[in-house]
Every structure is written in structure tokens, then in C-alpha cells.
Structure 1
């Protein structure tokens, strides 16, 4: 019991915030029969709701296969197959492999996530055919007779049929932490939990009709975590699509004009070579895989990711809104101390503290103990020689319990405002303790050896004030300090008493000075939300200045989140109660505790399965890793796209064949972009989130791509001066005869081989720049890619496959052009302080 909440501010029950529960059938005490259960199940009157934690297999396949770029590459692949040049269709196999990797990775992750969700599915005890059985909560049907015991969650809405000391914690609905007693005929709501006693209720409204699930359904609407990465990538893809649409006729026209006399096959092959380079085929895949593997990694730390972009989202958060109960505290109270009052009867010595502890232990040694007595029992063992002869169980209407013990009289434990007379000076002491956030109860004694029903003895003597505190999560203070060090602001938004919330906030290290108070009597930075409205615009200023909000309604929680968002903040909301669900839905990132209400877990993007707040830094670290690494690989892909566009435009302007065959670009893409990007996307990255993902990518990738495009054309033009086939002999020596896949004269491809060397040199330097800071594993990765590229030129089968013919003079000439490009790339990197700072971070 608190001394403040019950009498002064009666808790708002669920029935006051929702419509009345409509009565169902009058189920007999033996419960439903098997036939009745089957009939209701067939009619869909069950407690099942859709709370999928991942996409279906078909949705996964569609997302990875049916994309615009797969369609473009697929069409180009078909054209290459028609020409008969299978080697130039290698990109098609990579396309299939990429899609398969994405599908397999996501299906495996889906199974893991769904299995975790299933393992955390709750069960419920119901009476059927006169027997109490356990069934999955989703299989509870309308009119079921549900049995409730201490610790159970109420799975549906209904009416109490019977009960013995039944008390529910409705803080999930109201935010109030005081237990509410329930008698036969009283309403119960889904999302609440049993804190004391036992009882049975008839389930009148189940599934989507239950109160908690109605809130979840409302909160589920339009909930998708915003991802700056995905939004930026989608913007890039939209523009690249238009570039492809414009470049397609230009490429076909220019290649038809230049190599048309060599036959239509050459036109198709050369045109395809340029267009393949415009497609960032692996960017979307790698982004999805990075999110996915981060989600799987977090499951090992008991974090269920229900929306993949949420991994990135938490890294962008700059304000975290916390509910007190279940987030900062574990939701349970713990015995703290006994404050001996002394004997008011004038004797020199009152009852000693040891005797009082024995009395408390004896009172707590009760099979039907409520939450307060359970907290005492956890700290004080039952004494020997205290034989209970009579008991009056705690009742939330009376607010006290009592017991008689042989030879030791009667002992009473209850709320001070009920047990003390109106003007007792002890009330001031009670208020002082209550203002520190403690719960205060009074231990009193009576000389009477028996109890006359639920009536207080007239000779009641106050013996001690007993203080209890809410158990602060041991990881809360350290986690909040971590967020403070990262520049993330903390707001505590609770439905509980603001004095209590402020005291808890101070205990976990938030800057609350309880010694300095405002005109309202509350500490500075603490607000009683009953003095506020629900308009987000009106709440903007108070949301900015206040740290702790107490007595907050569910609608106000939602409004405060929106007020912070209106100021440009990225807001995360944590909570465990149904009253948190709407705020979690509107927050940029919703985080639910694993032991919280199902309605809350179903709308959250992240669920902390073991309820440990300390996992949030792990999620933040994963988000940073994803953001930083995807930015790196996006630079690689976009630089290749820009390079291809420059090569297409300049080849058309100078009436040149496109410098590369599709197989050449496949090699360059594989060793400088595709394979390295996969490993870089999964590597460590501790860089803090910095806004401007797309702007930074464009600022580096566009000039780097332009440099690479110029390198290609310069190297190709220089090669044409001294190597290859004289221009007048090109058509006769380099045309592909009917029925052959390629020409036998490799000199025809010498300029292309030289351009490939130059492009590889420049792109390997781009890779080195983006991989900084360089670590042994990165150097090993890049070294392996260089070796593969060298083997493609050095090994006969590689030279034959890629049509490489590279005299030493051409190699050194092309390599020198590539080095010049690399130096220009380094200059771009060094002249941009922002790019340098974001790339050069400690892994």
C-alpha cells in the first residue's frame, strides 16, 4: 500500500476507460464441455490474434525476387543468352545467387524469430468438463471459465464468478501501481495481472474484442519503423531507375552506330555491358541482410526484433521515454526497514525491534499473503513459537489485515491513513517517508486475544512504520548513464504518483533534486500530468523542460511522444503495460518488456524477452554497425553506377565501343564491390549516428564515380593509340562470325583489358578508402580480392574466359592511369572533413 495513492487519488480502473463488458452465457461451475469449446472454436470465437513476428515465406520470396532491378537484370540476362555469349551472362548467375542468399538468410531468421515468439507464448488455466486444464492463451474461447492465481495475466475481458482475496494489478491499463480488489460480479480486463488471491471469471470478450487487443489493433495501424537507410536507398533507386530509362536508348543507339557493322550480337553485348553497370544489384540485398543478421545476433541477447529497421532506428534515437513500472523497476516491492515508534502509553521501553520483526514475520507467514506481506516474507523468516489462531485477510476496501497469536495478542498491518486517528502527529512522519518514494504501512498491536470479524480493535497501539520500496532494476542506472554519455535525453513518463516516480528517478541517477521544489510542491523538473492537457502542440515546451511526468494518462503518453517528435527528436518509448501501447505505436521505436502485456509486445518493434533494460545498448551498437557499414557499401555501389553512366555518355560522345564486356564489369563488381561489401557490411563499426546518410554518400560516391569513369575512357583511348587493332581493320578482324561466341583475335580486346586494369586500380583504392580504419582482417580481405583479380589476368583459363590480352607496356600504361585516378580519389577524401571523420572511426 502507498499512503498517498489510494485515498487521495483513487485509481482509474479499466472500466472507466473503456465501454462496458457485454455479458455472455451463464457458464456452469463445471465450465464448458468439449463440444461447446469445439463449436466456439469453429465459429472463430477464440482468443487468437495475429501477432506475427516476421513476414511469411511467400512475402520473403517476393521481396527478394520481384524487384525492379531484378527485372532489369533478368531482361538483360535473357538478351545475353540470345546472343549465345554465356560468359557475358555471368551477372545473371550472381543475380540468382544474391536472391537465394537473401531468401535463405531471411527464412532461417524467420524460423528463429517465430520460434522465440512461440516459446514466449503464454498459457491459461480454464475449467472444462469440471476439470482445470492448461491451454495456450490463444485457445481460450468465449464463455470459458478461467481460473486466476497469483502471478497470472488476465487473458480476456469478463466478470468475476468467484474469488478469495482476489486482487489485480491494473497498472498496465491505468499506470497506477496500487492493487484493486475484485469481488464476484466485478469486471476484469485483459492485460491486467493477479497480485494476490485466487478466483475464477467468465470470459465474455476474447480475441480482437478484448480491451487489450483493441488497443493493440489500433496501435498496429500504419506501424512501420522509419529507416533512414532504407528511405535513402529507395530514393537512390528511384533516381537510378530514371537514369537507366534515359541511358538505355542512348547506349543502344551509340553502340549500334559504332559496332553495328559487327552484327547485332555485338550491339547487344556492348550495350548490356554498360547497362549492367548502372544496376546496384546487391545494394538492397546487402542492406536487408545487414538488418537481418543484426536481428539474429540480438536474439542471442534475448532481444526479439519484430521490425528489422528498428535495429537502425534505435541508433538514431536522441530521446528515450521510459515508463517507471516494469522498466526502471521490476514491478515488485521489497521490504526496506522498520521504524520503531516507541510506546505511546508512557512506558520507558516499548516493544523492541526484534519483537516487531517477529510480529512482521508471523503476519507474513500466510498462505494467502498479498503483495505487501510477500515482500516482507522475502526478507523476514517466520519466527518460532508464534501460533496463529485467527486471521483477517487483507482487503483493498479495508486496507488492513490482522492475525491473532497464542499468548501474543493481535497484530494489525495496514494503511496509516486508515489505522491512525485523524490528527495523529505520526501522519506527518508518514508523509515525509512517502515523499521519498517509499511505501509506508503501519504495524499496530492490540491486547485482544481474538478478532471480532473485520472490525478494528479499540485498543489499537501503533508500534512501527514499515517502509517498502519498489525494486529498481539493477541494470537501470548503468544503462541510463550510458545513454546520457551518448547524448540521449531521458524522460520518465508514468501513471504513478509523481513524488514516487521522482524518487525512483533520483535513485537511478537522473538529475532530480528532491530538496528543491516548485510552486506545486514537486521537485524541479517533475510535473503532475493532471495539470496538463493532451494537445501535443501545447505540451511541446513542458516536454522539453521536464524530466519526470507522473499521473500520466495513456492519451497523454501518446501526446508527449508526439510533442517531442514535433521538436525534431527521434523518440524511443519503453513500457510493459497496455496503457503504454499507443505511445509505443507512435514512437519512432517502441520497446516492450518481455514480461509485459501481450498488447504492448504486439505493437513494439523490439521486445526485451528477459525484461533486461541493459540490452538496449546492445541494440544501439548493432544499429550503429548497420548504419556505418551500409553507408560504406552504398558508396561502393553508387560509385560503380556513376562510373558506368560516365562511360556510356563519353563512349557515345566520342563514338567509341563501350569499353567493357559484361563479364569484365562482373569481375570488377565481384572483387571490388560485391564480395568486399558483404564482409564490410557485417564487420564491427562503433561510429555514432550522424544525420545525412544520403548527402554523405552522394558527396563521396559521385566524384569518385566520375573519376573512375574518366579513368576508363582515358585508359581506353590511350590503349587504342598503340595497342589493339587499327581502326580500319576493326570490323574485319573483330566481327563475331555466325555461330561463334567470340572472336579468336584477342588483340581486339586489348583496349578493354587495359581499361579493366585501370578501373580495378582506381576501384581498389576506393575500397581501401572506404574500409578505413584498416584492420588486419580488412587488409586480408582486400589482399584476397587483388589476388583473384591478378589470377584472372595471369592464369590461362582466366585470360581465355575474360578475353584478356595484356602486353606489359599496356599493363603499365593502364596501371599508371589507374594510379592517377586513385590519387584523385584520395584527394576527394582528404578535402572533405565530414567524409573523413565519418569513415575514419575505431572499429
Structure 2
């Protein structure tokens, strides 16, 4: 947003304080909530009222009815999990909401004739709101003032060309300014505005549209279908076939159903995302859509806008080169020179002084100068006295030049243009050779030219007379080279896409050691056909003279080849490409329009924050893949055990308390630590396939080995003739086998080992040993190992299953391409 002090407000002073108070009392306020996170009520409801909480809750109530309480421990685990999920999301909400306040744009509203930046929620009906390049129209209205005002409505209407607005024309919320300036009067506010609902939905913190979330939902859907027939089969098996009393049959049925539910998987996914938001928030990174963390981790092409990304926003004028013949600046001067037969020549100093005045006047003609023009305003304040602007043409990234009709102190007048030399001059012009040399040094060059036509002539840029070259030096970001090096190491292709001269952009990229910078491409020569454009984009790394629409086309071309594309930018010319990219990243200092459409906003304006976002996404995806394998291994062996029990007509091997103990030690506690650990593995697609590829064979091996140990224990203790002394001994042997196999699966998933991973696995094993040796814990969990033969047999079966697991996993990894873990 431009400096409000630069705007004249006499024509439309806006509402008075009394008028504002009256409208507020009537409720005519723009009260659409602008927030980046779910409300507290939504967070609680989403974590409490889930499909599996309902299932587990019903089973918990059943156990409370039939007893004993220790068989209902799984219910308390669910309560704890839900509380953790709510707590973590509320922490993430607090972080996001505080960042959203920092990053929220404040439109300049005229109140009592004074321009004041206000939050969007403070705008009332009838307010006069000022507009400049990059500003987003936050409510519907009618244009009150227009100075070359061009508004892009493509995000609403799909119409690509900007619309030139005049006083009285309508303005729709959600559109944005691409050139010029002005002001409009709010005619619809709040939820009545055209794009209010769209804007509210677009900026809401969400957990949807994520491969992880979608994949987990798919898995849970199939698990739900399996649970009902399994429950019926277990009840019939235990009640009718085994002849247990109904209480015991219900307990065994619950024991078979509860472990099928991967209840902690959804929790850990939410917690991992929420903690990712908190970590990034500490680095001043606002994640406007939660799956963006995951999405950026999957990116394999990142498109960078040079200005504001590789270079800092500000520029400095390093040199002014007055071109030959520039002394012929006015008709009056030309007549004088003819009359005096060139006997009196302006000195070089006088010619440069005149050019400086013209440049200063051009700078003063635009109340909202971009970075290039601001550098000229700072360098040449000469235009503040004696010059008058009759008409101005604001800079447009599509035109690549600005202009003004100026009246000088001596009465001379003329039309001047300032913009890209290769756009204003025909090919082969001698001045372009000089420009190319400067561009090759990484300098940005603007041409000051005298136009032969009026400013409103569509052909004003034709047949211009070059007058001077303004050489601008761009400030490279100190962290840009390191960030580009990080992307190269991670096999992420960086494409620099800029509206500047291709040679100049290539020189800047070369200073940052970007591979391919030595062969910059002029985007005006790129093929229009999508497939051919995609091939050219794959070959090149630096592209200059790219129009806003072309940026959008380039993103689409890359996506057509299967690339996941991230786009960074801060200018209004980046909006369309940011919107279409898989992940849009805006600088906090960027225009309001870019921040509105981007999924990630770097509030500290540091390009170096991006590696942190990528690393956070990879941590989430890699770790959730690990823990999902743990949870789903349990689901698979639980289903297999239920099927084997029904088919063989034996008692179910476990009580609910046994499986609660195993789940806590081999899945629940270790999964929480593994889900939050550092992980730099590159994200890979097909989450469900990759997880089930490991979980199904692991679960089958664990279930088959456990059931074999259970059958052997039944036979062994029956033959021993020990009577009631063996009650629970066969269950204990099966529990020991299943624990050792599950611990083995955990040990495999925890690789590569670090000291804390080894300590985690060892601590879980020690916890089970404590349960076995402490008498009151033995009684609480109904565990007792009788004799030496069967316990050691159980260990031997677990070791054999562990070897089978190792061989299976190594074969799967060998046939699964690059290493995942």
C-alpha cells in the first residue's frame, strides 16, 4: 500500500466520525471474519466427534458395564489422545492468528478528509477507499476517482485482460489493481460483497486437500467395513461356539475389535501438522493453508521472481547515460539550433541537467512509484520545481513502460516514456548494443525516450527518440545463493522467471551460481503451444521479459509434465501464476493481492525461510509414513487374528488390557516421538500404496506367528495337566510373542538409528519387562509365564518372525526404488 500522505483527498474526503458511528450502530460494517485458523469450537468438534471416537466410546461403555475396569484402559487412552489433539491445534491457532494480524493488509480509508490505514473489518458502508498498484479490492464499490486505474478481475470472472476503470464504474471485491490508482466508495460490505464468501473460505486454515489426509481417510474407510463382520464373527465364536458367558464373550469381542482401529494415526497427523505450523510461525512464516507444508515438500520445481526474491526490493541509480542527439529535446531548441547553424551547442552538463529534470518530473507524476521509479525519484529530485504533469500513464507489467505529458518551466511540452529499452526500441537500434553490455553485468537499464505521439495514442511507444539510459543496480539478497544451493542439493529445479531483460536476469542468477544461468531465454521467443513450451522450460533455467499471463502459462506447462510447482513472488504481476501454482509463496512486503492468493506468506521477507518450510513438510510426510506403518501393522494382525479365531473356533487369545499394553509400548508412545523427529527424506507420492506395501506383510507375519504361539501354548499346558494353574498362561505366551514381534517392527521403522531412537526402543522393551516382574502389574494385566519351555518357545517363534520381517522388508526396499527410510 502506498504512503497515505502522498494522496490528495480534497475531492472525496470520505465519511466523518459521526457518519461512521451511525453506520456501525446500524450494523453496516465489513464484518466478514478474516482468519487463518479454525475457531475453537470447530477444533473441539473436529477432534471429539470422529468416527472412531464414536466406535471406541461405545466399546468403552460396554466394558464399563461388564468390567473389569482394566479392560477399559483403551478408553482413557482415547480421551488423552483427543485432549492432546485439541491442545496442539489450539496452540497452532494462537500462532496462526497472531501472525495473521501481523500480515493482514490494511486498506487506506479516508475519514474526515484524512487517509487512515484500517483493518478490513473496520470498513463501513460508504467509506472511500484508496487504491494503488497491487491493492486488493476488499469490498464491492463504485469508482470515485481514477488515474489510469486498471483492475484485474480474472480471479472472479476468468477474463484475463485488465479493465480500465473510470469514475462511476463498479468495483468487485476480490479484484486487484495492476496499474494506476484512484479511490472507490464502498457500496456493499460484509457478507453482501461479491467475493466475501470466497475470500472467507480461501483464507481459512484447513486440513483438507492433502494426500496424507486423503490417504488416511481411505484407509479408515476400509477398516470400518472390516470391523462389523469381524465383531459379529467374534461374538458368535466366543458366545455360541466357545460357550463363554456373555460378559466374557463381550470382553473377547472388544479385545478383537479395538486394535483394528488405528485411532492414534489421525491424531498424530493433526499434531504433526500443528507443530509444524508452530515451528514455522516462530520463523515468521504464515501458513494460510495447512496442507501447504506438505505440498511444498513435494515440490520438484520452484519458480522464482527475481525482484524481491533473489534481489531486495530497493534499487539504486548507479549511472545516467545521455545518448547522442539528446540535446534535441524540444522543438524550440531544434529551431534555435537550425537558425544558429549549430554554432551554439548545449554543454554535456546542461544536457544531463535537463534529462535529470525530466526524470524527476516523471517520478513526481506517479504518486505510487514502483521500486525502479522510486530509485529515480530519490536520485533526481529536480522535477519538483517548474514542471507540471498534464497526463500520466502508470507503469504496467504488461506494457513494461510508463509515461507522462510534461510541461517544462520554459513553456515547452512533450510526451515522455520510461521503460524497457528492448520494448521501446526496434531491433537493431544502436542503443540496444550499449544496453546489452550493461545487462550482461547484471544491471537493470531503463530507457528515457521522447514520444512523437500523444500519450493516449495506442501506438505511443512506436517511433520514439531515445534520450538517456538510466542504469539501476539491484541489491542481491545475502541469503539467496545459499537457498538456491539448498534446492539444488535437494534435486529441486529452480527457474527464474522475470519481467526484466533476460540477459540482466541471467547475470544476476550467475552471480548466485544458479546452474543454467549462462543461457538466459527471452520469453517472447518461447513457443505458445503448451508441450513445446514445457520442453523449453525443462531445458532452461532463466527466463526474461515474461508477461503476467505468460507466467501463468509457464506454470501450467510445467504442471502438464507432472511437475509439482511452487511459485514465489511479491508483485501484482505474480498474482495469476501464484494462484495457479501448486504452492504460492508471497513475501510479507508484497502487494495485498499476492498475499491474498498465496498459501504461504514469508512475513520476514526472507527467501531463506523456504528451506525451513520444505524441511518441515518432509518431516511431516516422512514421519507420518513411518508411524502409519506401525498403526496399520496392528490393524492387519488384528484382522488376521479375528479371522483365525472364527475359523478355528478357539477362544480369542487376548483381553482388551493386553492389547492396550502392547499398543502403548510398541505404537502409541514411540509413534509420538517418531512423528516429531527431524526427517530430511524427499517426499514421495502414493502414500497409501507405500504404507500398505510394508504394513500388510508385517501384520500377516505378526498375526500368524502370534496365533501359532497361542495354539502351541494351549496344547502344551493342556498336556501338562496343571489344571487351573495354567489359566491365562497361553494368553501370556501369545502376548510375549506379539510384543517381541511388534518391538521388532518398531526397531525396523526407527532406522536409521541415532542414540535417542535406540534408547526409545530399549525403553519400550524395559517397560514390558517391568510389567512381567512386578507382581501387582502382573495381576493388573493378567499376565503370568509358567515354566521355561513355553516362554522360550514364544521367544523362538518371535525371533523366527523377526528374521522373516527383516528378509521381507529388505526385499521390498530393493524393489521399491530409492531408499525411503
SS, match of residue 263 in structure 2:
coil
Q: Which residue of 1 aligns with 2:336?
A: none
Deviates further, 239-248 or 126-135:
126-135
2:660 is aligned, of 666, 671, 674, to 666
Q: Shift of the alpha carbon at 1:650? A: 2.1
Q: Which residue of 1 aligns with 2:727?
A: 748
SS, match of residue 689 in structure 1:
coil
Deviates further, 137-146 or 655-664:
137-146
Deviates further, 310-319 or 212-221:
212-221
Give CA-to-partner distance per residue, 1:738-766, whole Å, 9 cap, x none: xxxxxxx6x31111111111111111111
Q: Which residue of 1 aligns with 2:223?
A: 240
Does structure 2 conserve the Cα–Cα contact (< 8 Å) formed by 1:83 and 1:265?
yes
Q: Shift of the alpha carbon at 1:614? A: 2.2
What CA RMSD, in Å, does the superposition of the two structures yield over aligned residues? 4.9
Q: How does 1:5-404 map to 2 (within 5 A)?
A: 29-34=12-17, 36-38=19-21, 40-41=23-24, 46-129=29-112, 133-146=116-129, 202-203=185-186, 226-260=209-243, 262-339=244-321, 351=348, 374-376=374-376, 390-392=386-388, 396-397=392-393, 399=404
Deviates further, 216-225 or 820-829:
216-225
Q: Which residue of 2 aligns with 1:440?
A: 446
SS, match of residue 127 in structure 1:
strand
Q: 1:714 to 1:149 in 2, by over 3 A?
A: closer
Distance in 1 separating the partners of 2:640 and 2:277: 38
Normalising by structure 2, report the TM-score.
0.78
Normalising by structure 1, report the TM-score.
0.76
Distance in 2 separating the partners of 1:776 and 1:625: 19
Q: Shift of the alpha carbon at 1:636? A: 0.8
Q: Which residue of 1 aligns with 2:804?
A: 824
SS, match of residue 126 in structure 1:
strand
Deviates further, 390-399 or 134-143:
390-399
SS, match of residue 723 in structure 1:
helix
Give CA-to-partner distance per residue, 1:524-546, whole Å, 9 cap, x none: 473457x737xx67966566566
Q: Which residue of 1 aligns with 2:793?
A: 813
Give CA-to-partner distance per residue, 1:80-124, whole Å, 9 cap, x none: 111121110000110111111111111221122112112222334
Does structure 2 conserve the Cα–Cα contact (< 8 Å) formed by 1:219 and 1:581?
no
Distance in 2 separating the partners of 1:825 and 1:86: 35
Q: 1:306 to 1:341 in 2, by over 3 A?
A: closer
Q: How does 1:671-690 map to 2 (within 5 A)?
A: 671-690=665-684
Distance in 2 separating the partners of 1:505 and 1:172: 33
Is 1:760 matched up with 2:739? yes
Deviates further, 793-802 or 671-680:
793-802
Does structure 2 conserve the Cα–Cα contact (< 8 Å) formed by 1:527 and 1:549?
no
Q: Which residue of 2 aligns with 1:483?
A: 487
Does structure 1 conserve the Cα–Cα contact (< 8 Å) formed by 2:149 and 2:177?
yes
Give CA-to-partner distance per residue, 1:538-590, whole Å, 9 cap, x none: 96656656656667676665554444333322222334456655544443323
Q: Shift of the alpha carbon at 1:32? A: 2.0
Distance in 2 separating the partners of 1:209 and 1:532: 40
Deviates further, 313-322 or 776-785:
313-322
Q: Shift of the alpha carbon at 1:231? A: 2.4
Q: 1:241 to 1:353 in 2, by over 3 A?
A: farther
Q: 1:424 to 1:652 in 2, by over 3 A?
A: closer
Deviates further, 555-564 or 783-792:
555-564
Q: Shift of the alpha carbon at 1:768? A: 0.8
Deviates further, 613-622 or 335-344:
335-344
Distance in 1 separating the partners of 2:197 and 2:224: 42
SS, match of residue 592 in structure 1:
strand
Does structure 2 conserve the Cα–Cα contact (< 8 Å) formed by 1:320 and 1:573?
yes
Deviates further, 577-586 or 703-712:
577-586
Distance in 2 separating the partners of 1:387 and 1:662: 85
Distance in 1 separating the partners of 2:536 and 2:761: 53
Q: Which residue of 1 aligns with 2:637?
A: 643
Q: Shift of the alpha carbon at 1:227? A: 2.4
SS, match of residue 690 in structure 1:
coil
Deviates further, 802-811 or 433-442:
433-442
Task: Extract unaligned runs of 5+ from structure 2.
Answer: 1-8, 156-161, 328-341, 394-402, 451-464
SS, match of residue 53 in structure 1:
coil
Distance in 2 separating the partners of 1:507 and 1:214: 45
Distance in 1 separating the partners of 2:420 and 2:204: 45
Aligned residues: 759
Does structure 1 conserve the Cα–Cα contact (< 8 Å) formed by 2:150 and 2:165?
no
Q: 1:194 to 1:73 in 2, by over 3 A?
A: closer
Task: Extract unaligned runs of 5+ from structure 1.
Answer: 1-25, 445-460, 517-522, 734-744
